[in-house]
Structure 1
Amino acid sequence: MGNLRSNIRNSRRGGLAGLGNSSTIMLSLMIVLVAMVSRTSGYAINYTPSVDDSNLLKELAARGEIHVDRRAPPPRPTLVFKRRQVGEDEESTTTAESAATSTANSAASTTETSKSAKSTTTKSSSTGGDTSVTPTTTSGNTLPSVTVVTTSLPSAFDTSLGSNFTKSSCPQFFSNFLSNSTFQSCLPVSLFLQNSNSFIQVEKSGPLLTQTLDAACDAPLAVCMPLLSNLASELIEDDNCGTDFARQNPLVVQAYSGMMAYEPVYRATCLKSSETGNYCFSDAVLNRTNPFDFYPYLTAVGMTLPAVVQPTCNQCLHDTMGIFAGYAGTDNQPLAKTYTGCANQLDSLCGAGFVATNVKTGAVTTPGSSGASAPQISVMTAGLATLIAAIWLGT
């Protein structure tokens, strides 16, 4: 009988050990299954010890060989899924591929719609800001807009003014009128001719030069001409730059000449060729076969025409000199000092009667001029003219 009880006890212990191994395997399988499914597909498992415990477990618990935890189970952990972080190399590659794809798609879209697009040019604001060209489609499809931003419109005195002034009030006067929004919107080409580095850069591009002249010629002459004339009068006052003007400070003299010459230069640079349809000034500046074609425009701001300069004798030159002749008779215009010499030289080059040579320069005294006509700027030497021509031919 004793042996029988011993055998039963060993069998029970062996069964319990086997049961422990089986429970471990089942628990591992359950953990794997839970990890494989999302939390949205999971479900609660209700366990009631009084019902689900086997008779064997109850007997073992009664003898104290095992202990059963009757406390409430802990809450299930919430599974949180996070997006995998892309490494630096992989991220840069993905970004480059996305940008390339976007660019290719945009280029293809633009090519397909270019035939049905209209280019609408938006003029700059009154402060002379950037301009843009936005194609507007005429079809019913909604397409992303394409904006082409060009360079800013040029401005006068865009390099350092230096310190060669008698009074501090003079550079302050320059600073005040250059920051005036109305002055900026006038885009005075007469001041750009001698004192604008940005305009020199614009003159190297036909489209940019045309764009600039479009904006300058759209400026209201009835507003800008009195403004520039008034600025010229204030410039040479003693409280501003009067002393430097009397001492022939080049910057002040050029500023005064450019302000006074605003209207004749405005009318001459806005003149268009009947042959090409372009601005005469643009054709003259961009004529690489004869880089001297733009020199006559400089006489309007007080520069004399060098003897070596031989511009093309065309209709544009004839009409431009006709405009200048109408202003040469006024005493405070720089043309009163330079027109006669230029006209005689062109008359000899292009033939008698090509330009008017019998103009009485400086015969008309303007009200309020007080004899303050612009002094004649030094003659451009033949060597300098040749150097400038060589630069233009090399660009």
Structure 2
Amino acid sequence: MFTPPPSPLPSPRFQSSESQKLQMTNDTPTPATPTASPIRSFQSKQKYTLTVRWTIILVPIILISIAVSTRCFVHPAAFDAFSPTSTHEWKSWAKSMTDWSLHEKHKPIENISQLSVLSDTRPSFTKRSTPSTTIAPTVPTNPTLPTPFPQPYDTTLSSNFSTTSCYNFFLNMTQTDALRSCRPFSLLLTHSQAFIKIQDDINAVNTDIWGTCNTDISQSQCDLNMAWFVSALRSSCATDLNNQNLMAVGALIGLQAFDLMRDAACSVDPVANAYCYVEAVASSDPSSYYFYQLPLGQPLPKITNGACTSCTKSLMSMYSAALTSSNASSLTGLQATYGDAANKLNNACGSSYAQSTTVASSSAPKLTNVGGAWAVLLAVGVLSVSVGE
């Protein structure tokens, strides 16, 4: 019978490995749990506390420094995207983030009272953008008026007034028929989005001007209504007027100029049988159009001889007569603008176009320019004002 040879003995290396493995299997020690040093733990906590403390101290200082530097020093234009006065829309915001060119430092607000009118808007005087002169339509006869008819302050009424009484005055005035039925051209021209939007539709402008000249109540009654609003505004908005709140000051000037500007809007060119204002809107040269802003305290910009029309001459004669009338003291806007406008018109058209009237200065509030402050939107709340008669 065959007997197999004995198995060879394992090599010493294999024996050593197997012995170690067996030893680890039979006698595996329990690893000791490492314990952190108390001193090292205390130092880590102390370091963390100091880091948090310095972060709390330094972050506000850095932010304040950046805010101050953007006002006082030249900086990349892209920084303006983070400015609280930035009103960029998305496209302009994205563009500003890629603009790292330097520009001049920001000018500080000179008068602290400007902060009270940040959410208001300076009266906008929008000229119809016509590439060429359009023939103005003639004065219509009983046209169908738009419903509702354009009204001043027809979008939102900011609550950012100095006093609650002034806010309530505007809220009540814009809702009452005593104002709405009179369709004040002096306020529509700068404070009515509906009226501004139709400036590109010359026929719609013609209809609306007819509507301002042909109200259901008489012009004399409207004069009395505006006089009452002026008195109430002076009482309810005394603080706002003193603070040069543009909303209050602009309304006061517009209400006081109601009668004069209604006559200006309703003036007719006898040759063309068209409203002079509609002719100014229809012209591609805005020079004659700008003369309608004078009673509102807005100065005349540079003009051309396109202003040398019979309508402009008649309009300036109307203004000159108003400044020598018994109501001259209330026409604070025209007082501030007529003299310069007369000089510019005479230089462009000849000395016979406007009478150089000496106007006494007035202490009444005047519109002031708050520059870049208009870009800040800090309205605490807005109240939608419904449009309708």
TM (norm. structure 1) is 0.54
Correspondence for 2:182: 186
What CA deviation, in whole Å up to 9, does each residue of 1:109-135 have, x standing for no partner? xxxxxxxxxx98466xxxxxxx3xxxx
**Hey, what's the Cα distance between the residues in 1 that align with 2:199 and 2:260?**
20
One-letter amino acid matched to 2:212: A
Correspondence for 1:351: 350
2:364 matches 1:373 = yes
Kept after mapping to 2: 8 A contact 1:158/1:198: yes
Q: 2:290 aligns with which of 286, 295, 315?
A: 295
SS in 2 for 1:170: helix
One-letter amino acid matched to 1:252: A
2:358 matches 1:360 = yes
One-letter amino acid matched to 1:315: S
**Hey, what's the Cα distance between the residues in 2 that align with 1:285 and 1:264?**
19
SS in 2 for 1:161: strand
Residue 311 (structure 1) shift:
4.4
Structure 2 unpaired stretches of 5+? 1-139, 372-389
One-letter amino acid matched to 2:164: S
- Distance 1:120-1:227 versus aligned 2 partners, 3 A rule: closer
- Distance 1:311-1:226 versus aligned 2 partners, 3 A rule: farther
Correspondence for 1:315: 310
Residue 291 (structure 1) shift:
2.3
SS in 1 for 2:157: coil
2:265 matches 1:274 = no
Kept after mapping to 2: 8 A contact 1:303/1:377: no
Residue 161 (structure 1) shift:
2.2
**Hey, what's the Cα distance between the residues in 1 that align with 2:174 and 2:311?**
32
SS in 1 for 2:163: coil
Bigger radius of gyration among the two: 1
One-letter amino acid matched to 2:227: S
What CA deviation, in whole Å up to 9, does each residue of 1:118-159 have, x standing for no partner? x98466xxxxxxx3xxxxxxxxxxxxxxxxxx4532100112
What CA deviation, in whole Å up to 9, does each residue of 1:160-201 have, x standing for no partner? 222321111212111111111121110000011211111101
Correspondence for 1:39: none
Q: Say what the alpha-carbon RMSD is for the aligned residues.
A: 2.3
Structure 1 unpaired stretches of 5+? 1-118, 124-130, 132-149, 364-370, 381-395
Higher relative contact order (CA 8 A, sep 6+): 2
Q: 2:199 aligns with which of 189, 196, 203?
A: 203
- Distance 1:256-1:307 versus aligned 2 partners, 3 A rule: same
Kept after mapping to 2: 8 A contact 1:303/1:379: no
Kept after mapping to 2: 8 A contact 1:213/1:270: yes
Residue 309 (structure 1) shift:
6.2
**Hey, what's the Cα distance between the residues in 2 that align with 1:310 and 1:260?**
30
Kept after mapping to 2: 8 A contact 1:304/1:342: yes
Aligned-residue identity in percent: 27
Residue 231 (structure 1) shift:
0.7
**Hey, what's the Cα distance between the residues in 1 that align with 2:342 and 2:186?**
20
Correspondence for 1:227: 225
What CA deviation, in whole Å up to 9, does each residue of 1:73-128 have, x standing for no partner? xxxxxxxxxxxxxxxxxxxxxxxxxxxxxxxxxxxxxxxxxxxxxx98466xxxxx
One-letter amino acid matched to 1:345: K
Kept after mapping to 1: 8 A contact 2:242/2:365: no
Correspondence for 1:156: 152
Correspondence for 2:72: none
Residue 378 (structure 1) shift:
4.5
What CA deviation, in whole Å up to 9, does each residue of 1:196-246 have, x standing for no partner? 111101222122111111121113211111211221121121xx1111111
TM (norm. structure 2) is 0.54
**Hey, what's the Cα distance between the residues in 2 that align with 1:187 and 1:303?**
21
Give the length in aligned residue pairs: 226
- Distance 1:331-1:354 versus aligned 2 partners, 3 A rule: same
One-letter amino acid matched to 1:236: R
Q: 1:260 aligns with which of 247, 252, 256?
A: 256
1:31-50 map, 5 Å: none
One-letter amino acid matched to 2:232: E
**Hey, what's the Cα distance between the residues in 1 that align with 2:260 and 2:370?**
20
1:1-395 map, 5 Å: 121=142, 131=145, 150=146, 152-219=148-215, 220-237=218-235, 240-288=236-284, 290-307=285-302, 311-329=306-324, 330-333=328-331, 334-357=333-356, 359-362=357-360, 373-378=364-369
**Hey, what's the Cα distance between the residues in 2 that align with 1:277 and 1:266?**
18
Kept after mapping to 2: 8 A contact 1:190/1:266: yes
